[in-house]
């Protein structure tokens, strides 16, 4: 028998209690029962976003919330700065260009650390910049970005908002929306929030709402101003994704029970164990500023990463992600996201070692596991 295991950076494993919630008979969304569920969810979303601002639920994958940010904040010809350090930074660039923004791209080599002083300089050069588009964890390279520092920089510019793609990182690593002055934060359901794909979320600061007041880009389904007005009357602009929202209530309860702080620590520990194991197995990390959300491992040159991922999936039911674009076949990415524990980390690490051995490139898997165990089961708490 084979047990499917997801170590991909979305979709991620969904807890049974969440799956069962979603299997309930359908209810109508304009009922007291559903409105009560939704208001609980809106409240708990503020906790995971660490914000007092409203958080909106959209029936779209994460990219939908990215698009909502762009169309609600900008007008045609507005200047934006996009930090592009991988596949998802590139998505910001093409999204903003699609809507006619003038995009200054701060390009970072994939896997490299971003020097935030470059943002400081770019904003001084172009003070009319409306928005800075950034990513907290660049999932294609497993790289962490210091959005806290970016928040301090952008806060000095009253006309500019900071927009953060936290799709693969919110609920996994610290993302202090209010404290870090992150004006707009977007995330998706299928990563650290332990749900199926299909929902995305967006929070807006008062500074962001001011921009939104004057935004002239066309919008209909993603019109957050309208959404806010309707929501104030305890209603929804469109049919809510009832089952997903019901599942979300449960997954947010699970997060609250454990607490965010503990969940961040646990992600850190699984990621750190994986990083140490990778080194002990004689392999290398792709990123010089690795995120605790996902670890990208450089494969030995002769190994075909696509084949390796396929082997793990078809023979053992284990899904890890391969590389994207020019990293295709060259890296594997192991997610630490969501509903995982210490033993999942050991499984992911050993599966990488086993797959490399089966591909004719044996590594010291035992040593890797030993290192990982030291990190995972140290008795600090």
Residues that bind ligand PLP (CB under 6 A): 9-10, 61-63, 88, 135, 139, 165, 167-168, 188, 197
Residue of 189, 197, 225, 195 lying closest to 210 (CA atoms):
225
| Shortest distance (Å) from residue 83 CB to ligand PLP | 12
| Shortest distance (Å) from residue 311 CB to ligand PLP | 24
| Shortest distance (Å) from residue 267 CB to ligand PLP | 14
Nearer to ligand PLP, 63 or 152 (CB): 63
Nearer to ligand PLP, 167 or 355 (CB): 167
| Shortest distance (Å) from residue 282 CB to ligand PLP | 28
Q: What is the DSSP letter of 215?
A: -
The CA distance from 235 to 254, in Å, is: 26
| Shortest distance (Å) from residue 166 CB to ligand PLP | 8
The CA distance from 88 to 165, in Å, is: 8
Nearer to ligand PLP, 157 or 191 (CB): 191
Residue that is written with structure tokens 């935030």 in the block: 116
Half-sphere exposure of 278 (CA within 13 A, CB side): 24
Nearer to ligand PLP, 13 or 355 (CB): 13
Half-sphere exposure of 125 (CA within 13 A, CB side): 11
| Shortest distance (Å) from residue 187 CB to ligand PLP | 9
Q: For residue 34, how many other CB atoms are within 10 A of its CB?
A: 17
| Shortest distance (Å) from residue 27 CB to ligand PLP | 26
- β-strand 55-58 against 102-107: which pairing, if any? unpaired
Nearer to ligand PLP, 45 or 303 (CB): 45
The CA distance from 158 to 301, in Å, is: 48
H or E segment at 298?
strand 294-298
Residue at shortest CB range from ligand PLP: 62
Q: How far is CA 200 from CA 16, 58, 191, 197, 313, in A?
A: 21, 5, 10, 9, 27
Nearer to ligand PLP, 121 or 325 (CB): 325
Backbone φ/ψ region at 343: left (φ over 0), alpha (ψ -120 to 50), beta: alpha
The interaxial angle of helices 242-258 and 260-280, nearest 10 deg, is 80
Nearer to ligand PLP, 80 or 372 (CB): 80
Residue of 244, 264, 66 lying closest to 166 (CA atoms):
66
Nearer to ligand PLP, 144 or 276 (CB): 144
Q: For residue 174, how many other CB atoms are within 10 A of its CB?
A: 18
| Shortest distance (Å) from residue 167 CB to ligand PLP | 4
| Shortest distance (Å) from residue 321 CB to ligand PLP | 10
The CA distance from 223 to 214, in Å, is: 13
Nearer to ligand PLP, 45 or 363 (CB): 45
């Amino acid at each position: 028998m084979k047990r499917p295991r997801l170590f991909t950076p979305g979709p991620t494993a969904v807890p049974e209690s969440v799956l069962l919630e979603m299997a309930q008979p359908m209810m109508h969304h304009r009922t007291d029962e559903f409105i009560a569920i939704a208001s609980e969810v809106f409240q708990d979303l503020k906790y995971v976003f660490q914000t007092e601002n409203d958080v909106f639920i959209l029936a779209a994958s994460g990219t939908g919330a990215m698009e909502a940010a762009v169309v609600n904040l900008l007008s045609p010809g507005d200047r934006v700065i996009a930090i592009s350090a991988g596949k998802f930074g590139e998505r910001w660039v093409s999204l903003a260009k699609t809507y006619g923004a003038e995009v200054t791209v701060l390009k970072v080599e994939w896997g490299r650390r971003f020097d935030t002083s470059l943002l400081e300089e770019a904003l001084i050069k172009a003070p009319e910049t409306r928005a800075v588009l950034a990513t907290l964890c660049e999932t294609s390279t497993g790289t962490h970005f210091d959005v806290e520092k970016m928040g301090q920089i952008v806060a000095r510019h009253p006309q500019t908002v900071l927009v953060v793609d936290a799709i693969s990182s919110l609920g996994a690593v610290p993302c202090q929306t209010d404290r870090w002055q992150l004006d707009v934060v977007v995330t998706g359901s299928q990563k650290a929030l332990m749900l199926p794909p299909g929902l995305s979320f967006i929070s807006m600061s008062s500074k962001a709402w001011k921009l939104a007041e004057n935004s002239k880009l066309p919008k209909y389904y993603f019109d957050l101003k309208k959404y806010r007005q309707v929501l104030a009357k305890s209603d929804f602009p469109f049919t809510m994704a009832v089952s997903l929202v019901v599942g979300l209530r449960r997954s947010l309860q699970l997060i609250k029970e454990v607490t965010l702080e503990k969940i961040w620590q646990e992600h850190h520990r699984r990621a750190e164990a994986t990083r140490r194991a990778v080194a002990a197995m004689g392999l290398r990390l792709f990123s010089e500023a690795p995120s605790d959300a996902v670890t990208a491992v450089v494969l030995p040159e002769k190994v075909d990463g696509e084949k390796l991922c396929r082997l793990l999936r078809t023979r053992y039911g284990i899904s890890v992600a391969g590389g994207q674009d020019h990293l295709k076949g060259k890296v594997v990415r192991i997610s630490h996201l969501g509903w995982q524990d210490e033993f999942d980390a050991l499984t992911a690490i050993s599966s990488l070692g086993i797959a490399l051995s089966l591909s004719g490139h044996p590594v010291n898997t035992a040593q890797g596991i030993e290192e990982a165990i030291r990190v995972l089961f140290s008795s600090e708490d």
